[in-house]
């Protein structure tokens, strides 16, 4: 046997270095220096391991495919996406990675103008996941480090101006970098941000820095460059040498509410860089984080870069869509979880007004799994061999991004545990930028940071911190230091599936306790990848859909936006909770509160509408006085017209003018309250009672000719992710153990006379002696059928109920509904403030919310009456006494629960109608606290009245 070692130019990357031959970090800039964008089609070859010969340095050999740059190869048919939350999808032995390491080879040619011989040529990669080795015209240029950081190389010596040049890149899926980039997201590889070739002529600006401070009306500007240059800001009359400190009296400050930018240039004669200067000061004073001297409340979200077709390779239109959607939903802050974003996103935050926590590309969650105290040995956070690469990452992020006014804090990373490298990173950040506070959620002692930050705390824990009554640290000095810090929830309100609930209660705490300065909801968007099944039907894939060896299922779908960027009900609720203007009922009229931190309400128009039984009776515009940030005013409302029915007053604050992020008329905030109770219902029509047919067990089979699957007690809902409690208190196992999904009925008693039928049923699960007696009293009259349902628990129930109500089946011909109640969107008890009482209509299809993982959805609450229609018109009206909740769908809760994706659900022979007295809340237990006590539904005696009015006569 002969042993022939294969010679390969491409090695694994398993060193603790920070890339080789990289140029020093510098600020991201828009400049006029000649540049060639290398985005577009490249030749591409995919291999399952890096032994493939590096035979492409002079151009693509025969038979290669093509790929678009930027992109991830897994989303272009090579290899496959893997989703893990915390676990490394490879054995843990840093810095080593498996031999079978998916490898993408890229090559393209580029004509470089002859004029480029007069300077240095720089090749820049804005983002390559996870490691690249680069060659120019066959010369090895260097290697990258930091998937979400820019890597620049001086390629002057290799490039041939006036000729065609070959750029070749080998990208490895796994590298030492992967150990410190273990974020909860899809593992996706390749050149996923732009590649740029840039000419740096003598006198070009290498790095530049903009310091734009704000002090009580005065702007203090200092722009520095590493070559002689001039700063020009015409609007401020500035034309001065770089480096000078310039005082500008009466400058308009930058805030997220008023993102005032002064545009100008920094010019060296050779190169001109665009400046967008925002004057603002971030400071912590008296234990409170202030922007321009005023406390700010972060109404934030955590944003991963995600697109269902392109993964983390976002185009500018998508970034802008995110920014606009955030502004439209009253969001004022973004944490760039968990890595520095595409630099253009930060430009947009400057321009549109969003506060940013810029987070370092650093996470080692797989060393901890469920165990924060112990964890696995070798966590890079506390291993000195990783110090240089980690400090380098912090350095490069701060230098790249520090000129953005939108960035108000730096975050050292996410979920890396604690260790000496955290201290070193903090020191580096402070050295480079003393103007911004530091945050790192896993520094629970807040020793290395300026802001105390935690994730997923309960309301009670936040309240304790707000009062300064959190449990003390063992080190008294640290305890004193931490108590003096502002508090921010880096993550809270896990938006997985149907939820989160309890947002309003968090906001109330942030508004009440100055120290609690808000937080960042987890997370902005569901990371569902657009996929088609064998039959060509489209769905959004989650963990496991690509046959991964390890995966974490739909935990990747936990956003406020669906993968296609449709706002979820959770986002609508968040918008309401984050509203910057609030209307409160006052003894006379309305109290209007300005919840903004800096600006007035001049941009808003407030309208009011008075409705009676859902019909408009009067409307008008409410003139707003000047109400400064944090202020309030008491306003009188016009005298209402005479009313006889149930009446509601609705106030709406809308944009008075077009803005950059929404058009005139966009609704910013709402307020609504009842001003008159419903009148007693008129006496029923006499005459022959409507026809209802019951069977021998007293089950309603037909109402005025409409056949029914008879109504019965229903306690089950298709569990939502929060019921399952991935990382929080799970309630679903209790429900299941109690058999609430498999109930049996036994008729105990049946009595009837001419107008009344009384049916007593005992409902219980197999193997259980707990039961619920449900006593149905049916009464017929000339226009309808009344139901009085009484509930009596039998035995010692300790488990709360998913829902309490009835379910019945209607003919599939039923196609739409109209109702008077909360709407138009779905609501649950702890997430209902965004939907207002009114008259609405929808098709059965439109009542469904397509959560990426099917689960209970589509509930409408506080419903006074509901009418069901088929193609011929109204079939039946259900009236509450006073109200009920309903869901109507073409599948049962059991079918909903069994489905893995929305395409698994298909219409059957019935429309299933649930009419509920109540439903369990949503909470946030998929990662965080469960349902607040006031939204838990214990088993108890209850009584529930409904009336069914048929619209057709029986034949
Ligand atoms: C926390 C992570 O920081 C975040 O990346 C995400 O995984 C989130 O949870 C849940 O979706 S870590 C959690 C185990 C507390």
DSSP string of 94-127, one letter each residue = TT---S---EEEEEEEEE--GGGGSSEEEEEES-
**Residue 59 bridge partners (DSSP):** none
Ligand 1 pocket member 721 (CB < 6 A): no
> What is the pLDDT confidence band of residue 685, given thresholds at 50, 70 and 90?
low
* Sequence-ordered strand ranges (E) for 708-846: 709-714, 743-752, 756-765, 771-780, 785-794, 803-811, 816-823, 836-843
- Give the nearest ligand 1 atom to 928 CA: 15
- 414 close to ligand 1 (CB < 6 Angstrom): yes
The alpha carbon of 272 and the centre of ligand 1 are apart by a number of angstroms equal to 42
Regarding predicted confidence, which is higher, 463 or 781?
Answer: 463
pLDDT band at 841 (very low <50, low <70, confident <90, very high): very high
Burial 812-834, CB ≥16 within 10 A → b, else e? eebebbbbbbbbebbbbbbbbbb
Q: How confident is the model at residue 682 (pLDDT cuts 50, 70, 90)?
A: confident
Ligand 1 centroid distance, CA of 85 (Å): 8
935 lines ligand 1 (CB under 6 A): no
- The per-residue pLDDT for 689 is 82
C-alpha 841 – ligand 1 centre gap (Å)? 38
Residue 926 beta carbon below 6 angstroms from any ligand 1 atom? no
Q: Given the DSSP bridges, would you call strands 333-335 and 355-359 parallel, antiparallel or unpaired?
A: parallel
**Cα separations in angstroms, 664 against 659, 661, 668, 749:** 7, 10, 11, 62
| Mean of pLDDT values over 398-405 | 98
Banded model confidence at residue 8, pLDDT cuts 50, 70, 90:
very low
CA angle at 942 for the pair 936 and 948, rounded to the nearest 5° = 110
Q: Is the CB of 521 under 6 A from ligand 1?
A: no
Q: How confident is the model at residue 679 (pLDDT cuts 50, 70, 90)?
A: confident
Ligand 1 atom with the smallest distance to the CA of 523 is: 11
Look at residues 853, 814, 859 and name the one whose alpha carbon lies nearest to residue 952. Answer: 814
Q: Which residue is closest in CA terms to ligand 1's atom 4?
A: 184
Residue 368 CA to ligand 1 center (angstroms) comes to 12
359 lines ligand 1 (CB under 6 A): no
- pLDDT by residue (tens digit) across 582-607? 999 998 899 999 999 999 999 999 99
- Side-chain half-sphere exposure of 309, counting CA atoms within 13 A: 6
Atom of ligand 1 nearest to the CA of 86: 7
Q: Which two tokens stand for residue 267?
A: 């010019």
Alpha-carbon gap, residue 812 to 706, rounded angstroms = 11
CA angle in degrees (0–180, nearest 5) for 26-27-28: 120
Burial group, residue 792, by CB count within 10 angstroms (0-12, 13-18, 19+): middle
Name which of 148, 226, 210 is nearest 404 in CA terms.
210
- Tell me if 463 CB under 6 Å of ligand 1: no
174 lines ligand 1 (CB under 6 A): no
Q: For residue 840, report the distance from its CA to the centre of ligand 1, in Å.
A: 38
- The number of CA neighbours under 13 Å toward the Cβ of 822 is 23
141: pLDDT strictly greater than 80: yes
Of 230, 49, 266, 19, residue with least CA distance to 123: 19
Instruction: Check residue 663 and give its pLDDT.
Output: 98
Mean pLDDT throughout 937-941? 94
* 806 HSE (CA, 13 A, CB side): 27
User: Does position 609 have pLDDT exceeding 80, yes or no?
Assistant: yes
The closest-lying atom of ligand 1 relative to the alpha carbon of residue 558 is: 11
Cis peptide before 882 (omega within 30 of 0): yes
Q: Phi-psi region for residue 378, left (φ > 0), alpha (ψ -120 to 50) or beta?
A: left
Question: 822: Cβ–Cβ under 8 A, 6 or more apart, which residues?
Answer: 832, 835, 836, 837, 860, 861, 862, 863
- How much is the pLDDT for 15? 85
456 Cα: distance to centroid of ligand 1 (angstroms): 9
The number of the ligand 1 atom at minimal distance from the alpha carbon of 555 is: 11
The tokens 């109930």 sit on which residue? 743
Q: Is the pLDDT of residue 877 over 50?
A: yes
- Average pLDDT score over residue span 162-170: 98
- Closest residue to atom 7 of ligand 1, CA basis: 184
The DSSP output letter for 556 is G
CB atoms within 10 A of CB 413: 26
Cα–ligand 1 centroid distance for 184 (angstroms) = 7
Residues comprising the chain, all counted: 955
* Token output for 209: 């820095």
- The answer, yes or no, to whether any atom of ligand 1 lies below 6 A from the CB of 491, is yes
Among the residues of 624-741, which ranges form H helices?
Answer: 721-724, 732-737
Residue 13's pLDDT band, with cuts at 50, 70 and 90, is confident
Return the pLDDT at 604. 98
Distance between Cα 421 and ligand 1 center (Å)? 21
pLDDT band at residue 938 under the 50/70/90 scheme: very high
Q: How confident is the model at residue 687 (pLDDT cuts 50, 70, 90)?
A: confident
For 653, the 3-state DSSP assignment is strand
More confident residue, 640 or 209: 209
User: Which residue, judged by its Cα, is nearest atom 5 of ligand 1?
Assistant: 184
Task: Please check the confidence at residue 4 and state whether its pLDDT lies above 60.
Answer: no
302 CB under 6 A from ligand 1? no
Q: Is the pLDDT assigned to residue 248 strictly greater than 80?
A: yes
Q: 184 CB under 6 A from ligand 1? A: yes
CB of 129 closer than 6 angstroms to any ligand 1 atom: no
SS3 253: coil
Whole-number pLDDT of residue 684: 66
State how far the Cα of 716 lies from the Cα of 894, in Å rounded to an integer: 9
Q: Running DSSP on this structure, what letter comes out for residue 75?
A: G
| Ligand 1 atom at minimal distance to the Cα of residue 490 | 3
Rounded Cα gap, residues 790 and 796, in angstroms: 18
3-class secondary-structure state, position 868: strand
Long-range contacts of 371-377 (CB under 8 A, 24+ apart): 372/417, 375/417, 376/92
Residues recognised as catalytic:
415, 491
Position 454 pLDDT exceeds 80: yes
Is the pTM of the predicted complex or chain greater than 0.95?
yes
Task: Give the DSSP H/E element, type plus range, for residue 445.
Answer: none
Mutate to test the pocket of ligand 1, among 184, 301, 414 (most ligand atoms within 8 A of CB): 184
**Cα–Cα distances in angstroms (integers) from residue 220 to residues 216, 250, 252, 280, 824, in the given order:** 11, 11, 12, 9, 50
State the sign of the Cα–Cα–Cα–Cα dihedral 922, 928, 934, 939.
Answer: positive
User: Residue 683's pLDDT is what?
Assistant: 63
Residue nearest to atom 9 of ligand 1 (CA): 927
Average pLDDT rounded to a whole number, residues 906-911 = 98
Q: Which pLDDT belongs to residue 933?
A: 97
185 lines ligand 1 (CB under 6 A): no
- Is ligand 1 within 6 A of the CB of residue 415? yes
Contacts of 647 (CB under 8 A, 6+ apart): 610, 611, 612, 613, 617, 640, 674, 675, 676
Q: Is residue 444 in contact with ligand 1, taking CB distance under 6 Å? A: no
Residue nearest to atom 10 of ligand 1 (CA): 927
Q: Which atom of ligand 1 is nearest to the CA of 927?
A: 10
d(CA 873, CA 952): 10
Nearest ligand 1 atom, CA 365: 12
How many angstroms is it from 556 CA to the middle of ligand 1?
A: 10
- Residue closest via CA to ligand 1's atom 12 equals 415
Taking the C-alpha atoms of residue 631 and residue 626, their distance in angstroms, rounded to an integer, is 9
CA distance 825 to 15: 53
Atom of ligand 1 nearest to the CA of 338: 5
Please state, in angstroms and rounded to a whole number, the distance separating the CA atoms of residues 25 and 433: 14
Average pLDDT, the chain: 96
Return the exposure string of 577-593: e unless at least 16 CB atoms fall within 10 Å of the residue's CB, then b. Answer: bbbbbbbeeeeeebebb
Ligand 1 lined by 85 (C-beta under 6 Å):
yes
Give the nearest ligand 1 atom to 414 CA. 3
Please tell me the predicted confidence (pLDDT) of residue 6.
Answer: 45
pLDDT bracket for residue 5 (50, 70, 90): very low
CA–CA distance, 179 with 186 (Å, rounded to integer): 15
Q: pLDDT at position 782, please?
A: 87
The pLDDT of residue 18 is above 60:
yes
**pLDDT per position as a tens digit, 522-545:** 999 999 999 999 999 999 999 999
Residue 751 has pLDDT above 90, yes or no: yes
d(CA 404, CA 407): 6
> For the segment 694-743, what is each residue's pLDDT rounded down to a tens digit?
999 999 999 999 999 999 999 999 999 999 998 899 999 999 999 999 99
Residue 576 CA to residue 579 CA, distance in Å, equals 5
Centre of ligand 1 from the C-alpha of residue 83, in Å: 14
Q: Whose CA is nearest to atom 6 of ligand 1?
A: 184
With a cut of 70, say whether residue 611 has pLDDT above it: yes
Chain segment 491-526, per-residue pLDDT in tens: 999 999 999 999 999 999 999 999 999 999 999 999
C-alpha 334 – ligand 1 centre gap (Å) = 16
Ligand 1 center–CA 523 separation, angstroms? 10
Per-residue model confidence (pLDDT) at position 373: 66
User: Which whole-number Å values give the CA distances from 467 to 208, 510, 513, in the listed order?
Assistant: 43, 11, 7
CB 524 within 8 A of CB 304: yes
- How far is residue 57's CA from residue 43's CA, in Å, rounded to a whole number? 12
Q: CA–CA separation, 266 vs 233, rounded Å?
A: 9
* Residue 394 · residue 425 · CB < 8 Å: yes
- Phi first, then psi: what are they for 323, rounded to 5°? -65, -45
- Counting ligand 1 atoms within 8 A of each CB, the residue from 85, 337, 444 with the most, and so the one to mutate, is 85
Percent of the chain with pLDDT over 70: 98
Residue with tokens 């150990």: 179
CA distance linking residue 329 with residue 239, whole number of Å: 39
Rg (CA), the chain: 31
């Amino acid at each position: 046997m002969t042993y022939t070692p294969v010679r390969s130019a491409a090695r694994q990357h398993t060193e603790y270095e920070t890339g080789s031959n990289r140029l020093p970090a510098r600020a991201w800039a828009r400049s006029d220096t000649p540049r060639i964008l290398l985005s577009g089609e490249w030749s591409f070859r995919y291999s399952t391991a890096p032994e493939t010969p590096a035979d492409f340095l002079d151009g693509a050999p025969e038979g290669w495919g093509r790929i678009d740059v930027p992109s991830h190869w897994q989303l272009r048919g090579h290899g496959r996406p893997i989703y893990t939350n915390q676990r490394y999808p490879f054995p843990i032995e840093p810095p080593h990675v498996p031999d079978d390491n998916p490898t993408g080879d890229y090559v393209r040619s580029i004509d470089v103008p002859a004029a480029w011989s007069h300077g240095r040529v720089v090749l820049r990669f804005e983002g390559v996941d996870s490691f690249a080795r680069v060659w120019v015209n066959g010369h090895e240029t260097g290697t990258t480090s930091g998937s979400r950081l820019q890597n620049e190389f001086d390629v002057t010596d290799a490039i041939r101006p006036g000729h065609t040049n070959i750029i070749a890149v080998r990208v490895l899926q796994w590298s030492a970098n992967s150990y410190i980039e273990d974020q909860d997201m899809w593992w996706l590889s390749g050149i996923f941000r732009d590649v740029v070739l840039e000419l740096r002529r003598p006198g070009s600006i290498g790095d530049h820095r903009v310091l734009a401070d704000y002090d009580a009306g005065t702007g203090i500007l200092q722009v520095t460059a590493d070559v002689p240059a001039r700063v020009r800001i015409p609007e401020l009359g500035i034309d001065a040498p770089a480096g000078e400190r310039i005082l500008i009296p009466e400058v308009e400050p930058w805030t997220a509410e008023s993102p005032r930018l002064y545009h100008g240039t920094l010019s060296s004669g050779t190169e001109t860089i665009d400046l967008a200067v925002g004057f603002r000061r971030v400071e912590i004073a008296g234990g409170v984080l202030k922007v321009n001297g005023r406390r700010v409340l972060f109404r934030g979200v955590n944003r991963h870069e995600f697109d269902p077709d392109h993964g983390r390779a976002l185009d500018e239109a998508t970034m802008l869509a995110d920014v606009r959607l955030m502004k439209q939903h009253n969001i004022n802050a973004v944490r760039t979880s968990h890595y520095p974003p595409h630099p253009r996103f930060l430009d947009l935050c400057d321009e549109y007004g969003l506060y940013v926590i810029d987070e370092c590309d650093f996470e080692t969650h797989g060393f901890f799994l469920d165990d924060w105290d112990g964890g696995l040995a070798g966590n890079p956070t506390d291993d000195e061999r990783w110090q240089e690469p980690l400090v380098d990452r912090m350095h490069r992020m701060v230098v790249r991004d520090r000129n953005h006014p939108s960035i108000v804090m730096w975050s050292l990373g996410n979920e890396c545990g604690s260790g000496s490298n955290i201290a070193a990173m903090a020191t580096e950040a402070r050295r480079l930028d003393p103007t911004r506070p530091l945050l790192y959620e896993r520094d629970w002692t807040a020793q290395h940071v300026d802001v105390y930050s935690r994730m997923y705390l309960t309301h009670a824990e936040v309240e304790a911190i707000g009062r300064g009554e959190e449990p003390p640290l063992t080190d008294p000095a640290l305890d004193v230091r931490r108590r003096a810090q502002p508090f921010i929830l880096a993550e809270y309100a896990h938006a997985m599936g149907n939820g989160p609930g309890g947002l309003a209660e968090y906001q109330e705490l942030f508004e009440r306790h100055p120290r609690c300065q808000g937080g960042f909801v987890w997370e902005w968007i569901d990371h569902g990848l657009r996929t088609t099944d064998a039959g060509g039907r489209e769905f959004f894939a989650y963990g496991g859909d690509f046959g991964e060896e390890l995966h974490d299922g739909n935990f990747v779908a936990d956003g406020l936006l669906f993968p296609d960027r449709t706002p979820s009900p959770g986002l609508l609720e968040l918008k309401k909770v984050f509203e910057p203007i609030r209307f409160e009922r006052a003894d006379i009229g309305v109290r209007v509160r300005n919840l903004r931190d800096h600006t007035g309400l001049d941009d808003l128009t407030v309208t009011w509408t008075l409705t009676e039984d859902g019909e408009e009776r009067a409307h008008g515009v409410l003139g707003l006085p000047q109400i400064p940030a944090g202020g309030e005013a008491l306003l009188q409302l016009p005298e209402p017209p005479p009313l006889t029915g149930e009446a509601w007053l609705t106030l709406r604050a809308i944009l008075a003018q077009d803005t950059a992020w929404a058009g005139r008329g966009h609704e910013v905030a709402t307020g609504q309250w009842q001003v008159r109770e419903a009148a007693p219902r008129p006496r029923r029509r006499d005459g022959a009672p409507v026809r209802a047919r019951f069977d021998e067990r007293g089950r309603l089979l037909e109402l005025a000719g409409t056949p029914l699957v008879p109504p019965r007690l229903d306690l089950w809902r298709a569990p939502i992710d929060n019921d399952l409690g991935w990382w929080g208190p799970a309630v679903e196992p209790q429900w299941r153990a109690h058999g609430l999904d498999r109930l049996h009925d036994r008729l105990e008693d049946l009595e009837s006379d001419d107008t009344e039928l009384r049916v007593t049923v005992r409902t219980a699960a197999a193997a259980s002696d707990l039961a619920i007696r449900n006593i149905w009293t049916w009464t017929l009259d000339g226009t309808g059928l009344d139901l009085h349902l009484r509930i009596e628990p039998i035995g010692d129930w300790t488990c709360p109920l998913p829902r309490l109500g009835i379910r019945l089946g209607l003919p599939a011909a039923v196609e739409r509904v109209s109702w008077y109640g909360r709407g138009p969107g779905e609501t649950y008890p702890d997430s209902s403030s965004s939907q207002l009482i009114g008259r609405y209509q929808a098709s059965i299809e439109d009542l469904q919310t397509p959560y990426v993982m099917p689960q209970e959805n589509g509930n409408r609450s506080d419903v006074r009456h509901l009418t069901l229609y088929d193609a011929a018109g109204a079939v039946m009206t259900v009236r509450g006494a006073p109200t009920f909740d309903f869901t109507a769908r073409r599948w049962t809760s059991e079918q909903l629960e069994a489905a893995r994706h929305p395409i698994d659900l298909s219409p059957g022979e019935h429309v299933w109608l649930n009419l509920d007295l109540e439903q369990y809340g949503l909470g946030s237990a998929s990662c965080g606290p469960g349902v607040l006590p006031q939204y838990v539904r214990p088993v108890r005696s209850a009584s529930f009245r409904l009336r069914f009015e048929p619209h057709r006569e029986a034949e």
